[in-house]
Each structure stands twice: as C-alpha cells, then as structure tokens.
A and B are shown apart, each in its own frame.
Chain A
Amino acid sequence: MGAGRLYAAVAAGGFRRYATYRAATAAGVFTNTVFGLILVHVHLALWAQKPQLGGYDQAQAVTYVWLGQAFLSTLAIGGGGIEDELMERIRTGDVAVDLYRPADLQLWWLAADLGRAFFQLLGRGVVPFAIGALFFPVRLPGEAAVWGAFLVAVVLAMVVSFAIRFLVALSAFWLLDGTGVLQLSWIAGFFCSGMLLPLNVFPGALGEVVRALPWSSLLQGPADVLLGEADPLGTYAFQAGWALVLLAAGRLVQSAATRRVVVQGG
C-alpha cells in the first residue's frame, strides 16, 4: 500500500470515528449555537458603541463570532483533538506500538487529526454558522473564488493547529501527567487565536505581538480571507511558514523523545 493511501485511510478512519457519536455532535451544535448567541449580542453592543472597531463593521464582527463557534471544535482550540489520546498512549507506554508501525508517528497523527477536523467542520461547524447567518446580520462573499480561498486557509489552519498540539502532547514524554500543559495551551489558544475578541481589536503592541504568533493562523487568518480584509496569498504564506516551523520542531522533539521511550514489559 502506498504511503499516501495509508494516510488517507487513517484520515478517513478519523472522520468516521467522530461521525459515530451523533448525539454528542447534536449536543455540540446546540452548545456552540447558544454560546454564539451570547457572544453575538455582546459584540453587537460593542460595535454599536464603537462602529468600525478594529476595521470591522457590525456585520463583519457578527460573521467573525459565528466563524469562531464553527472553528472551536474543528481546530480543537479548547481541547478535544487527538492530543488527549496521544498523551494517554505516551503515559501508558502504548506509544511504543505506534513507533513500531511502518508509518511515521507525526504523519499518522496528522492524518487522524485532519480526518477529525473535517468531520467537526461539517458536523459541528456548518449548522451554528448557518443559524447565525440566517438570524443575524452577516457579511458573506458572493464569489465562489473567495470561498475557495477561505477553504484553503481553513485547511492550513488545521495543519498549524495540529502542529501546536502535537508539540504539547509530546511534552508527556517528560512530564507524564500532561493535564497542566494541556490547559496552559488552551489558554494560549483562546487568547491568541482571537476566540475571545478579534485580534485586530487588541490595543497597541499587544495586538501586534498576538497577530505575529502562530495562533493567529487559526481563526483570524481564515476569517480575514472570508471577510475580504486580508490578501489570501499573504495569509497562506504566514500560515504555511508557521506550519513548517512547528512541524519541524515537532519532528526534532519526537526524535529526542523516542530515544527516551521505556517499554514496560509484562
């Protein structure tokens, strides 16, 4: 079996696996919609007071909120990706089995996580976004080309998101109990991706710093492509640059970590 087909099969498996939990998906859609509803009202009030805040008009701000809800589980910004399982396998030592497989550890989990992310985008992302677009003033592009450009940015966002979480998960090789690191990474993700508030609203130097960090590839980048506020090629270059740096770092840490693996017999 060719390597490409192997990883495609892993990704398809990831997609199908999450597709099994129908009730959980419906519950997630409901929760994302309720949170979107609350946040939209807050943003509407904020933009009513300060029109053109951060360069967005009110409709753009509303669109941004619903995009955030659609991406929350897709990009596993608050957890829920493959990192929990990978950490557990590292803690129990099962990761030794993964290392023994004729497949690359990083690519294997990337494929599984992409499958998961695509399912979450379709299963949990589309419905809250559609509800938001139906009942609130949004700004959506009419041209198919912009939607296409947006989708490319979303896929790149998925890769950057995975690269960050893979690094976080590998810390379990040293810490064993990775809950603390995981939660710190959620905080960074929430704050720096623009889930709290669009990054272009952040004041002064703080705003410049968060916009340069990898997390801004997750929500702010794709959102600005969809809203027509950013040049797609520049966004892709930023996202791909961070993806390469982080994946390379993951690879380095991985090779350092696998030398530490202690297989527990029994």
Chain B
Amino acid sequence: MWIRSTMAYRASFVMTAVASCVVTGLDFVAILLMFSRVDALGGWSLPEIAFLYGLSGLAFGLADLAIGSVERLGRRVRDGTLDTLLVRPAPVLAQLAADRFALRRVGRLAQGALVLGWALAAVEADWTPGRLLLVPVMVVSGAAIFCAVFVAGAAFQFVAQDAAEVSNAFTYGGTTLLQYPPALFAQELVRGVTFVLPLAFVNWLPASYVLGRPYPLDLPVWTAFASPAVAGVCCALAGLAWGAGLRSYRSTGS
C-alpha cells in the first residue's frame, strides 16, 4: 500500500530515491575529497576504506529498508495511535515496520552496493574461497545487527517518547563510524563498539581478516567469524527489550 501511495507522486519518488542515494553518497564524497589530499587514512588505502564503507552501507541499508520505520514509534506512543496496532491480529513490530514503508530507501542500498562493488574490484586481497564467502555473511549478519539496534532503539522509546534521536546516534552514527578504519578512533571507543554495542562485528573484524589487516584491540583470529553468532545474540536481546517495552506500555487513553 505504501509503495502504491509513493508511486502516486512519481516525480517526487524519483527525486527522493535519487536524493537518498546521493545524501548517503555524500559521506563517500567526503572520503574522496580527503583522498584528493592524502594517500592513506590511518594506514588504509582508498579501496580498503571503500570496502569498509560499502559493507557498512549495504548492511545498514538493508536494515533501514526492512525495519527503519520503527523509529516512528515514539510519535505513535505520544499521540495514542499505537493502540490501533495493538488490537490488530498481527505482530506490532511487523506492522510498525510496514508503516510508511519507504521504498526510496533503496537509494541508500544501491549506493552502498555500488561502492562495495567497486571496492571488491579495486582492493588487493588474497581471494581464497573462505574470504569470498565471508563477504555475503558479513552483509547479512551486519544487517541483522543493525536491525537489533533499530528495535532496541524503538523499545527505548516506550520509556522516553520524545527521544527518537538518541537511537540515531547508534544507527546513523554507527554506520558513519564503521566507514572509517578502527585505527582512527580512541581505544575506549573501539572497545565500546566491540564489547558493549558490538558494531565492530558488522565489518571491522571480518574485513580485517579479508584484507589481512591487524585486528583492532589485538583480538584473536576466530572473532572474524563470530559475526553471525553475535548477530543472533543481538537480535535475541533486542527482542527481549522489545517485549519488555511493549508490556510496559500504557495507552494515553485518548
């Protein structure tokens, strides 16, 4: 339904899809501008950073397309329209995800895929079958980790209805962080996104294995393959948080 409604204003849809592609592409333009002045950033070359960027962009784009609409939860709690979803015989989370499903977000996805494609062609890696196989695994588990962050952020909005922007720091902020090599950031920050909010498993750790780079925080080699397990744990925790949030919900009564 939301796809059809979007298509009612076709010119506007094309403009928004292109805009969403370009707006996310701006981050990459910034990286290109930096590389017009330097040859490497934190010791990583442009194709290597493009590899990080493409993986993070593609994983985030998938999560955003599937479930990005849940960030509207706070508004629904405030104005009482969440009640409508509660009485329908379908999971609330699925309804929220489908609410105002924004097809223009494929723009973000396309842009990430484009950069990743270029990076795969340009990067100098020792392509064994294992390394090659790790790329789709990274994208899928990365998307699952970002989905978990979206759901956890939505669950938090049951408590703080006005604070939807806090989750932006972790979703949009997280994907921006992962576009750059871990060597750029303070050790405490890297530790935080490895052990507390395990974003490092989206691309930093597995990409270090693929590109033969030193692992952040000197972690053992097997951590590069832990992404699917980490994603599973994240989704389970986010599901628990969501359930708790939903149970604590008190309607506005309006």
A residues apposed to B, CB below 8 Å: 21-24, 26-28, 30-31, 34-35, 37-38, 41-42, 44-46, 49-50, 53, 175-177, 179-181, 183-184, 186-187, 190-191, 196-197, 201-203
Contact = CB atoms under 8 A, between A and B. Distances in A.
A31 B38 contact: no
Given A175-B12, A183-B20, A38 B177 contact: yes
Given A202-B33, A203-B37, A24 B23 contact: no
A41 B176 CA distance: 12
Contact of A21 (B11, B15, B162, B185): B162
B240 interface: no
B42 A31 contact: no
B34 A197 contact: yes
A2 to B, nearest CB: 36
Contacts of B222: none
A28 B34 contact: no
A24 B165 contact: yes
A210 B33 CA distance: 13
A27 B177 CA distance: 19
Interface in B45-97: none
Given A196-B26, A196-B33, A31 B166 contact: yes
Given A30-B166, A53-B37, 15 more contacts: A22-B162, A24-B165, A27-B165, A27-B166, A34-B170, A35-B169, A38-B176, A42-B184, A44-B184, A45-B42, A46-B37, A49-B40, A180-B15, A187-B22, A197-B30
Contacts, number: 107
B9 interface: yes
Contact of A31 (B27, B169, B185): B169
22 contacts: A22-B162, A23-B162, A23-B163, A27-B162, A27-B165, A27-B166, A31-B173, A35-B169, A38-B177, A41-B189, A42-B180, A45-B42, A45-B183, A45-B184, A46-B41, A180-B15, A183-B15, A183-B23, A184-B15, A184-B19, A187-B23, A196-B27
A30 B173 CA distance: 11
A26 B162 CA distance: 10
Nearest to B42: A45
Contacts of B160: 23, 27
Contacts of A197: 30, 33-34
A37 B180 CA distance: 13
B12 A180 contact: yes
Contacts of A187: 19, 22-23, 26
Contacts of B173: 31, 34-35, 38
Contacts of B248: none
B236 to A, nearest CB: 25
Most chain B CB within 10 A, of A31, A177, A196, is at: A31
A26 B168 CA distance: 13
B226 interface: no
B23 A41 contact: no
B108 to A, nearest CB: 12
Nearest to A33: B169
B29 to A, nearest CB: 7
Nearest to B34: A46
Contacts of A23: 160-163
